[in-house]
Amino acid sequence: MNPFSSGTRLRDMIRAIRACKTAAEERAVVRKECAAIRAAISENDQDYRHRNLAKLMFIHMLGYPTHFGQMECLKLIASAGFPEKRIGYLGLMLLLDERQEVLMLVTNSLKQDLNHSNQYIVGLALCALGNICSAEMARDLAPEVERLLQTRDPNIRKKAALCSIRIIRKVPDLAENFMGPAASLLKEKHHGVLIAGVQLCTDLCKASTDALEYLRKNCTEGLVRILRDVSNSPYAPEYDIAGITDPFLHIRALRLMRMLGQGDADSSEYMNDILAQVATKTESNKNAGNAILYECVETIMGIEATSGLRVLAINILGRFLSNRDNNIRYVALNMLMKAVTVDFQAVQRHRTTILECVKDSDASIRKRALELVFLLVNDNNVKSLTKELIDYLEVSDQDFKGDLTAKICSIVEKFSQEKLWYIDQMFKVLSLAGNYVKDDVWHALIVMISNAPDLQGYSVRSLYKAFQTSNEQESLVRVTVWCIGEYGEMLVNNVGVLEMEEPMTVTESDAVDVVEVALKRHSSDIKTRAMSLVALLKISSRFPPTSERIREIVMQHKENVELELQQRSIEFNSIIQRHQNIKSSLVERMPVLDESTYIGKRVGSSQATLPADKSSRPTSGSPGASLKLPNGVAKPPPAPLVDLLDLSSDDVPAPTSSATDFLHDLLGGDLMSPSSSAPSGGAGTDILMDLLSIGSPSAPTDVSIRNTISSNQGNAGEPKTAPASVMDLLDGLPSNSSLPGDKNPIYPSITAFESSTLKVTFSFTKQPGKPQNTMIQATFTNLSSNTYTDFIFQAAVPKFIQLRLDPASSSTLPASGNGTITQMLSVTNSQHGQKALAMRLRIVYKVNDQDKMEQGQINNFPPGL
Amino acid sequence: MIRAVIVMNTQGKPRLVKFYDFQPPEKQQELIRSVYGVLSERADNVSNFVEADAIFGPGTQLVYKHFATLYFVFVFDSAENELAMLDLIQVFVETLDRCFKNVCELDMVFNFNKMHMLLDEIIFGGQVLETSSEQVLKAVEEIAKLEKSSSAISLVPKSVSARFGR
């Protein structure tokens, strides 16, 4: 066979490579061969050049570098012999690409070979050009190719036609040169030329609108004739695939019809008949027949077809869906996706079949079908579809559950008409595939539950039941823990039982059991554990008898490696053990979460921000609760303002900056220049008022503020009563609220706020060297004859100021001025000297268990703060 | 357009690789590996289509057929009919079978450049050129005949082989 005898032959090399047992051996053989080939190249060996290149191509296929052989391709192409040229062109196509400079050198050889008298050499050159043609080559060689479109040999004509496609793709401007020749190709009888010609026309239509118009005018008729001939033609074994005559020509012709008929009523009209014929007469028991039908459907959908034809097309797809062949079902789903936008109702009729495809054993089909079902959901069918999908969720493959869950959740969220249904569906999903539910989905569920007071009892009981059977589902566990923390008593006392509910008895310790399981569950991550700890703290106040047990559970985490859990554990222990008096107010139920804010946040922020900080700051899971407690008691300082204001969510990446940003938003920029905002009632400041009242149960009793500067005297002695009651939350740590009394106050004290029932005075101290920082001691005096309990002071400042509230000295304010509460505020004015301090405050307290609230704005700060 | 034709064995060794848009060799190997990764995990009773967006870029699909120890893989974009691609694999394999008389993996290993010759007669620059295996075989045989005769010539001095041409 092989004319060469010396050196290793190609066969031998392949054999040697195949004999290699390891990759290292293979590399060694290849290295040796490459070295020999390089040597031959440098000796400019002519006899073995084409054999060497053949070897290089094999080596290239295995993934080794072969760039050194590129010039050899050019030399072979330039040589006269056919075998050399053939290998040369093959090497050109495999080893080089159009971006390489070397390619420039080959243009001339190509030109010569395109004009060669041997048709096979012309064929080789065309083939190479069709594979690697660059824009420059396209310009240089287009005339040759154009001429070849009219040669006598059909094999050359068809190759030239396909080569033209490449040229047009590289240089669309050349399209007009090819319009005429392409149109005349459609008059051919030779099947291969027709396929190539139709394909060329299709590409011309894509490349230029001129060509599209030209072909629409001149070829529509010819094209219809081609299709009619081929579909009516008798059995022709040569082009027959599985009994269908020339499916490829069918398909190409149908595709070109789509290009021509798109948006053009006249030509569409002209095509209707033949399309109907193909759609009805083509046999559908073979793959080739189905390929034609499939293409025909796409064309009918693409052109301005009559509605009858469209129904026919969708019905073909419907038949495809029930085909036993996976491939047919797959393409049918693909096409239905496209058809949904054209004819929604027609696709809707096949909904049940499509739903069956969601349960297919084939992953590709399942995925497609699920996407399609998602497109088909509307208000009428959402319930039945969701039920089907959820039923299937139970038995579906593990790797499909993620997709399926995400789609179900988004269907349920998008189409839920009633809260009960939404909650029910979400619970089902959580218990079946809770591990696949995204964070933002269950966050949304919690917001929803919080907004549905009459369903909270039902929710917590359902979750309790679900937890008993599927406590391995992470997000189910989290939602359950959260709900038990918030609505635990509804679980135990059977509050708000719905009609369809079965009665159940849950004891207080059962509820604690659930949270304890969640906390100790092996697979729980830190977020779940942190949520569990908070829930335990909350339950301990709802169910006092369990308090001691909860303290023991909490204390098990005092040496946890996770700093966050450890710290919470110690803090909560301290709260349970030593601060019974404030505990109940500390852990009151969260106010209703604001849905619109949450939705806004969900849309605005990426999901990624949600999970991260939840784990790091578990108590912020109940930010609203902190509205009810003395500032700063529940958690270490800089956060309280954040919690105070950021009611609806727990994602606070950087507490201080976020707090100030938030305030900035709140104040609407008005307070940025306090001089202009000082007169109360500006739009921006109203927003702040609104915000502060979110979640507050009592109506604000707005009081006018008396901006009187009072002397320091009246309050000077009072702070001394306070320090004893400052709470040290972390056992053993000394109280750090030092009294500013011994420092010289440079600034006069002011009465920041005064109403008929309450008076607040501020006294100021500055540390030397830090003019921006001001320590403010707020002193609260009760002017009424009733004792105030659950006393909370809150303050908000504009963006350029940072505020830190230290714990208040007490939460109880005795009546008639028989004692005071003091609280330290630390203020940093970042624009010290340019802008004066400004602050809004709100005070919440209880009188005989009645909620009271007072609020006001302070603009009488002494200058120079 | 057809983006690539890959024939590989069930161990992932490439037997015929043809990319119709240029890919550097390292990238080619990477693509082959990812295709193998996908195919080797597919069960027998599933469809022959795989979405290849992740491997070959958006809008691409991959159709494959499994014959004995070989996977025949065509990668194509939305301008091709999926089912027709499946038939085209059939045409390609039938042609190989007629060309090599019961084709097996070994034939393909040792005749990879004949395979290329054959493929170039079926797919041309990513477009379907010919679907009749009869025609393809005829073209390939002509070329082989031409090679044989000119190989004989090339043993004699170059000046003689220069006469070859008509």
Would you say residue B145 has pLDDT above 60? Answer: yes
Query: A556, A577, A599: which is the final residue of a domain?
Result: A599
Cβ within 8 Å, pair B43-A361: yes
Q: What share of chain A is helix, strand, coil (3-state, %, to 5)?
A: 60, 10, 30
Q: Structure tokens of A264?
A: 């053009």
Q: Which residues of A touch B82 (CB under 8 A)?
A: 291, 294, 327, 330-331, 334
Give me the pLDDT at residue B8, please: 92
Q: Specify whether the CB–CB gap between B153 and B164 falls below 8 A.
A: yes
Query: A530, A564, A599: which is the final residue of a domain?
Result: A599
Cβ within 8 Å, pair B110-A365: no
Give me the pLDDT at residue A652, please: 37
Q: Where exactly are the structural domains of chain B?
A: 2-155
Give me the pLDDT at residue A241, please: 62
- End-to-end alpha carbon distance in chain B: 35
CA distances from A481 to A383, A467, A562 (A): 28, 10, 20
Handedness of CA A294, A295, A297, A301 (dihedral sign): positive
Q: Which residues of B touch A120 (CB under 8 A)?
A: 142-143, 146
Cβ within 8 Å, pair A165-B143: no
B34-50 in b/e form (b: 16+ CB < 10 A) is: ebbebbeebeeebbbbb
Residue A787 structural domain:
750-858
Tell me if chain B has a CB within 8 Å of the CB of A321. no
Tell me if chain A has a CB within 8 Å of the CB of B34. no
Tell me if chain A has a CB within 8 Å of the CB of B139. yes
Tell me if chain A has a CB within 8 Å of the CB of B20. yes
Cβ within 8 Å, pair B25-A14: no
DSSP string, A448-477: HHHT-GGGHHHHHHHHHHHHHH-TT-HHHH
DSSP string, chain B: -EEEEEEEETTS-EEEEEESS---HHHHHHHHHHHHHHHHT--TTS-SEEE-HHHH-TT-EEEEEEETTEEEEEEE-TTS-HHHHHHHHHHHHHHHHHHHTS--HHHHHHTHHHHHHHHHHHEETTEE----HHHHHHHHHHHHHHHHHHHHHHHS-HHHHTTTT-
Point out the residues of chain A with pLDDT beneath 70.
1-7, 97-100, 234-244, 600-746
The tally of domains found in chain A comes to 2
Please name the residue that has the structure tokens 């061969």. Answer: A33
Tell me if chain B has a CB within 8 Å of the CB of A99. yes
CA distance A3 to chain B (A): 7
Q: What is the CATH number of the domain that holds A766?
A: 2.60.40.1230
Alpha-carbon span B38 to B49, nearest angstrom: 11
Window 342-361 of A: residues touching B by CB (8 A cutoff) are 361
Share of chain B above pLDDT 70, in %: 90
Give me the pLDDT at residue A681, please: 39
Tell me if chain B has a CB within 8 Å of the CB of A327. yes
Identify which of A116, A246, A361 has the shortest CB distance to residue B46: A361
| Confidence tier at B89 by pLDDT (50, 70, 90) | very high
Cβ within 8 Å, pair A64-B130: no
Q: What is the ipTM of this complex?
A: 0.87
Tell me if chain B has a CB within 8 Å of the CB of A60. yes
Give me the pLDDT at residue A7, please: 57
CA distance B69 to chain A (A): 16
Q: Which of A214-228, B17-31, B58-72, B139-153 has the lowest mean pLDDT?
A: B139-153
Alpha-carbon span A679 to A675, nearest angstrom: 8
Identify which of A84, A155, A327 has the shortest CB distance to residue B83: A327
Cβ within 8 Å, pair A18-B127: no
Tell me if chain A has a CB within 8 Å of the CB of B105. no
Q: Structure tokens of A709?
A: 């500067």
Q: Determine whether domain B2-155 maps to CATH 3.30.2130.10.
A: no
Identify which of B49, B143, B162 has the shortest CB distance to residue A80: B162
CA distances from A445 to A159, A408, A475, A533, A603 (A): 62, 14, 11, 21, 15
Give residue-wise pLDDT tens across range B93-142.
Answer: 989 988 888 888 888 888 888 888 899 999 998 888 888 888 888 888 88
Tell me if chain B has a CB within 8 Å of the CB of A243. no
Give me the pLDDT at residue A100, please: 66
- Largest Cα–Cα distance of chain A, in whole Å? 119
Cβ within 8 Å, pair B82-A331: yes
